[in-house]
Amino acid sequence: MILGVSIYEILTVSTLVFFIGVYGFVTRKNLIAMLMSVELILNSAALNFVVINKYLFPGNLEGAIFSIFIIAVAAAETALALAIIINLYRRVMSLNTDELETMKY
Amino acid sequence: MNWNTMLLMRQEIVLTIVILVLLLADVFVTKDKKTVNYIAIGLFAIHTLIGFLPLDAGSLFGDSFRTSPLIFGFKNVLNVGVLLIIMQSASWLNSKMLQYQKIGEFYALIFSSLLGMYFMISAGNFLMLYLGLELSTLPVAALAAYDIHSRKSSEAGIKLILSAALSSGVLLFGVSILYAANGSMYFANIHDNLGHSYLTIMGLVMFFSGLAFKISLVPFHFWTADVYEGAPTPVSNYLSVISKASAVFILMFVLFITLRELKDIWTPMLYIVSVLTMFIGNFFALRQQNLKRFLAFSSVAQAGFIMMGMLAANDLAVSTVVYFLAIYIFSNIGAFGVVQAVSIASGKENIDDYNGLYRTNPMMSLAIMIALFSLAGVPPIAGFFGKFFLYTSAASQGYYALVFIAVVNVTISLYYYLLVVRAAFLRNSETPIPYFRSDLLTRIGIIIVMIGLFFLGLYSPFYDYIQEVSKIVGI
């Protein structure tokens, strides 16, 4: 718990980070930037878990453990996404979604 | 702790052993990589058979892993589905991937994903659900990009991994809010002290959207068509049936049992999503030329029908949805199986290419006709009974308007399913797809699917069994 900082401030930050991530995911045209936006979303959820655990339910550790799992899985997800991006870059020589897309409605 | 209780995880343990043995076999078989196919299929067939042995109900690890006769039976349905899919994928691997020596990984990834689904549908808390969900999604993304020399396959992979990561992020945010509202991850505890505040409603909506990505319900269906078209056909097949069915199953349990107090919130939500999904899936399917895109939108529309069946929210809804899922798995595997066999033999995937198929390949045309009729719901075939029970479930709670909308949608869907049948049977072509003979495993797979499609509908003890085990769940 941080002195002088209530749960409302921290939850406001994590919600802002979440929506910045969603906005970035929708507007960015670069695959790496989209991946970074997804990381923001996952980290905001992890932050939420830790803060809620610490401020509201300090008796147990469920939230903190969940956030560790989120970090581990997010790393696996990023590794896989980067592997696919590298493979795609070898084929197309670009990371711009407009140039990548061949399948459309 | 008694070691005998670990046997409740028998299916997971056996599947893990299968994966390890398969990875070892892939290392030691160096000469003829084709054998790896048969080792994998043989091991998985043994696993499927062991799966049918009776299993007790109970829970493990402080209630985070549960099993019941319904969950156990559903795992067996998934096993049979995966067995049929890998039987059909062997010929694709032999024809395309043998030159790169990439056979064993395919099976290892598909089995890991199935293991994730096991954990997901037996989950007793949100942590287990999340881990199972990720373990089931990440290998599929690798599988979608499996054909690394094809640009479309890589594109499908990146679309799948990015949308899956986004959806699990949204789901996690929803779970964190539900945690804030009641202080526990466990489904049983959440059920006991769930308030009716705005906080829980927001958590419910975000959790639902996260899973809706996996089921490809309408506001979240954008990735579906592209991924299905670009990914290798066995992978699209797997995504459209196994992945979707297990996500529906766990969504149903969380909504019906854990979040039951919020029923007045999620009922209108499911209603709207169901109507939108049926209409948009069907209307987009009408204008598709590529058969894989066509089947993608048809599977979006089928998800809408499943949501209609879920609205009743009682044990009748559980049994009808599970029964429909079992039939849907069979019908879609049949349709994808034929598309894949034709695609391997001739490289053609468009509806117009099927003109005159009946004259050159009568058995294939018959198989795709039966599978598509089952998807549309034409009476003697199992799909009709599945749809009929879904209507019964919705009508039993008085959703007559929704049943009417669903019937209108079945009519629309019959039109586009018949377009394919007309191309194969009634149209002529100067250059039809020449006669081909697919390999033995594919043919056996398609024959099993065809038998299943008649058997599941007409053999009533199957439905009776599902109904009986659904009553024990305690909804």
In whole angstroms, give the CA distance from residue B350 to residue B346: 11
A48 touches chain B (CB under 8 A): yes
pLDDT at position B349: 84
**Residue B158 contacts A where some CB pair is shorter than 8 Å:** yes
- Write the Ramachandran bin of B459: left for phi over 0, alpha for psi from -120 to 50, otherwise beta: beta
Residues of chain A short of pLDDT 50, as ranges, are none
Helix/strand/coil for B209: helix
Number of domains forming the structure of chain B? 1
Question: Quick check: B173 and A101 CB within 8 A?
Answer: no
Helix, strand, coil % in chain A, rounded to nearest 5: 80, 0, 20
Residue B374 in any domain: the answer is yes
Which helix (H) or strand (E) is B360 found in, with range? helix B357-360
Is A64 in CB contact (< 8 Å) with chain B? no
Residue type for position A34 = M
Q: Locate B313 and state its tokens.
A: 């929210």
Prediction ipTM score: 0.94
Domain annotation covers residue B197: yes
Question: CA end-to-end span of chain B, whole Å?
Answer: 30
Q: In CATH, which of 1.10.287.3510, 3.30.420.40, 1.10.645.10, 2.40.240.20 is domain A7-94?
A: 1.10.287.3510
DSSP 8-state symbol, B53: S
The per-residue pLDDT string of chain B (475 residues; one tens digit each, 9 = 90 and over) reads: 677 788 888 889 999 999 999 999 888 888 888 888 888 999 999 999 988 888 888 888 888 888 888 888 899 999 999 999 999 888 888 888 777 778 888 999 999 999 999 999 999 889 999 999 999 999 999 999 988 888 888 889 999 999 999 999 999 999 999 888 888 888 888 877 777 788 888 989 999 999 999 898 988 888 898 899 889 999 999 999 998 999 999 999 888 888 888 888 889 999 999 999 999 999 998 888 888 889 999 999 999 999 998 888 888 888 899 999 999 999 999 999 999 888 888 888 888 888 888 888 888 888 989 999 999 888 888 888 889 989 988 898 888 999 999 999 999 999 989 988 888 888 887 777 788 887 888 888 899 999 988 888 888 888 888 888 888 776 6
CB contact under 8 A, B180 and A52: yes
Rounded CA separation B343/B236 (Å): 13
B134 and chain A in contact, CB less than 8 A: yes
Among B131, B145, B176, select the one facing A87 at the smallest CB separation.
B145
Check CB contact under 8 Å for B172 and A70: yes
Task: For residues B467 and B393, give the distance between their C-alpha atoms in angstroms, rounded to a whole number.
Answer: 12
Partners of B226 on chain A (C-beta within 8 Å) are 103-104
Looking at the complex, report in whole angstroms how far the Cα of residue B52 sits from the nearest Cα belonging to chain A: 32
Paired strand residues for B290:
B350
Residues 293-352 of chain B whose Cβ lies under 8 A from any Cβ of chain A: none
User: Which chain B residue lies closest to A54 (C-alpha atoms)?
Assistant: B180
The answer to whether position B395 is within a domain reads yes
A19 touches chain B (CB under 8 A): no
* Interchain contact, B225 vs A103, CB within 8 Å: yes
Enter the tokens of residue B15.
């599947």
Out of B158, B168, B225, closest to residue A88 by CB? B158
Q: Which distant-in-sequence residues (6+ apart) come within 8 Å of B439 by Cβ?
A: B90, B91, B94
Distance from CA of A84 to the nearest CA of B (A): 6
Residues composing chain B: 475
Find the domain containing B91 and state its range: 8-472
What integer pLDDT is reported at residue A2 of this predicted model?
A: 74
Look at A41 and B170 and tell me if their CB atoms are within 8 Å.
yes
User: Measured between beta carbons, which residues in chain A are less than 8 angstroms from residue B225?
Assistant: 103, 105
Q: Interior CA angle at B273 toward B466 and B419, to 5°?
A: 80
| Whether B154 and A91 lie within 8 Å, measured CB to CB | yes
Which residue of chain A has the CA closest to B154?
Answer: A88
User: What residues have CB less than 8 Å from B56, skipping those under 6 apart?
Assistant: B7, B8, B67
Measure A39 CA to nearest chain B CA, in Å. 8
* Residue-level pLDDT at A105: 54
Q: Which of A35, A41, A103 sits opposite B230 (nearest CB)?
A: A103
| Contact: A80, B151; criterion CB under 8 Å | no
Tell me whether residue B397 is in a domain. Answer: yes
- Looking at the partner chain, which of A56, A81, A102 has a beta carbon nearest the beta carbon of B161? A81
Answer whether B162 sits within 8 Å of A38, measured CB to CB. Answer: yes
Tell me whether residue B243 is in a domain.
yes
Assess B59–A contact: CB distance below 8 Å, yes or no: no
